[in-house]
Chains A and B, each alone.
Chain A
Amino acid sequence: MSAGPDDTDRDLGDRASGDRDLRAAEYVLGTLPGPERAALDLERTVDPATEAMVRAWERRLAPLALAAPEVAPPPGAWEAILRALPRRAGTSDGRVVALNRQVRRWRLATAAAGLLAAGLALFVAVGPRGPAPAAPGARYLAVVQGGGALPALVVTVDVAAGTAQVRPLGAETPAGKSLELWYVGADAAPKPIGLVGTAPGRITLPPGASADGVIAVSVEPQGGSPSGLPTGPVIYTGKLIRE
């Protein structure tokens, strides 16, 4: 290899960014297959760079959408909307509902397909399901499956203690990069919770973290995101599963 590490990094970054822009464009065109579309839906809620790419394509193509001929909606459509309007509770704001919807949609989809691009697949471990409410101190986990025999990464979350245990197994960090973990809570702003190391580590969750949150992993410059928000591709997002 004659290229220096900097060149390799830049090439990798360019390729990842170009690929992400193509996915954003196909998402806006509507041609991404269902599971990849659902994965990108969630990715845009946790990754501002992806969201910006989607917005840019929406802007570029908007004149073609606005060219649609107007059609009067059927009578009664407004009344149906009015009946379905959720009455606002004091604590709930629009973004919370929006994120919950995204998460629900993601869970309905068969997921994972869009994440294969990064060489990681999400392995969803379905625990025993029951109507029992979450007990205080319940533990949750997320499992990231790599290409090999071992899972890449296991994240165990103890909500009551506000901590998470990260066990890297087969995780491969791209050369010169760090994998950074994010917690996305009800307020939808991703909070950095630590880097994926080579050894098991205990990390502290942001105050108020709950089992409703989403864990995301992004590729960042060595040492983690300089901005406090994800800057690289989000290679995994997953809902916590009751252990």
Chain B
Amino acid sequence: MREDTDLLPLLKRVAAGDEAALRTLYDLTSPKLYGVILRIQRDRSVAEDVLQDVYLRVWQAAGSYAPEAGRPLSWLCAIARNRAIDGLRRKGEIQGPVHEDGEDWVERLIDPHDGEAALVGRDALNACLGRLEPAQRACVVLAYCEGRSREELAARFDRPVNTIKTWLHRSIAALKSCLEGLS
């Protein structure tokens, strides 16, 4: 359904200005991208604006897609996350209190879901996240999946913003060396 073999030729046609190809790409990928955006931008009407913005961006940037940027669906997800987070950071918007600890997002990573059992790098990322201190893992996951800012994480964990920054930097270094060790 959303295999690279389907998406790659579609991206090429979109790059050539084929609106029908953009429509097919939209039908295949928009539920996933809208899901990614809604985790970050919870206001549905704003999330819909972000989704439109993402496909306009894809329309303009499809020609610059290169396999080095990751698989097509990962590339699309990166654009969606970027646009959603741009909206939050530009307005300095606060999303409401953080109650979760991010563990349900990690669990979704472990379970095969949406028929994407063969996801490249999934097991390695899961193993390396598992080695982080629980609170530090939660910061990484809540930031990445929900778009939480340093300030929101500081409030959630009742720590100074600088401590959150240190946690994030420590987690980033640990993840990098762990993932490089496993690959």
With A37-B89, A95-B64 as given contacts, are A73 and B56 in contact (CB-CB < 8 Å)? no
Q: How far is the CA of A63 from the CA of B125 in the complex (A)?
A: 8
Q: How far is the CA of A40 from the CA of B85 in the complex (A)?
A: 14
Is the beta-carbon distance between B73 and A66 smaller than 8 angstroms? yes
A94 contact from B62, B122, B169, Cβ within 8 A:
B62
Q: How far is the CA of A72 from the CA of B70 in the complex (A)?
A: 24
Q: How far is the CA of A68 from the CA of B32 in the complex (A)?
A: 7
Binds B, one of A4-12, A77-85, A120-128, A198-206: A77-85
Q: How far is the CA of A58 from the CA of B75 in the complex (A)?
A: 8
Q: How far is the CB of B68 from chain A (nearest CB, A)?
A: 7
Give the size of the chain B interface in residues (CB under 8 angstroms): 74
Q: How far is the CA of A97 from the CA of B52 in the complex (A)?
A: 16
- Determine the chain B residues whose CB is within 8 A of the CB of A33 once the complex forms: 89, 149-150
A64 contact from B60, B80, B113, B125, Cβ within 8 A:
B125
A31 at the interface (CB under 8 A from B): yes
- Determine the chain A residues whose CB is within 8 A of the CB of B32 once the complex forms: 66, 68, 70
Is the beta-carbon distance between B60 and A97 smaller than 8 angstroms? yes
B144 contact from A65, A70, A85, A108, Cβ within 8 A:
A65
Q: How far is the CB of A60 from chain B (nearest CB, A)?
A: 6
With A25-B172, A34-B92, A68-B32 as given contacts, are A74 and B121 in contact (CB-CB < 8 Å)? no
Assign chain A's interface to a size class: 35 or more
Is the beta-carbon distance between A94 and B175 smaller than 8 angstroms? no
Q: How far is the CA of A77 from the CA of B17 in the complex (A)?
A: 20
Q: How far is the CA of A60 from the CA of B26 in the complex (A)?
A: 25
* A interface secondary structure, majority: helix
A138 at the interface (CB under 8 A from B): no
Is the beta-carbon distance between A94 and B52 smaller than 8 angstroms? no
Is the beta-carbon distance between B145 and A68 smaller than 8 angstroms? yes
- Determine the chain B residues whose CB is within 8 A of the CB of A34 once the complex forms: 89-90, 92
With A60-B179, A85-B19, A109-B90 as given contacts, are A71 and B74 in contact (CB-CB < 8 Å)? no
- Determine the chain B residues whose CB is within 8 A of the CB of A66 once the complex forms: 32, 73-74, 77, 116, 119
B159 at the interface (CB under 8 A from A): no
Q: Most chain-B CB neighbours within 10 Å: which of A22, A65, A67, A109? A: A67
Listed A/B pairs (30) with beta-carbon separation below 8 Å: A28-B144, A30-B88, A30-B148, A31-B143, A37-B85, A59-B121, A60-B121, A60-B179, A62-B77, A63-B109, A63-B120, A64-B125, A65-B36, A65-B74, A66-B74, A66-B77, A67-B108, A68-B35, A69-B113, A70-B31, A70-B32, A70-B114, A71-B35, A71-B38, A78-B30, A81-B26, A81-B55, A82-B23, A86-B56, A94-B60
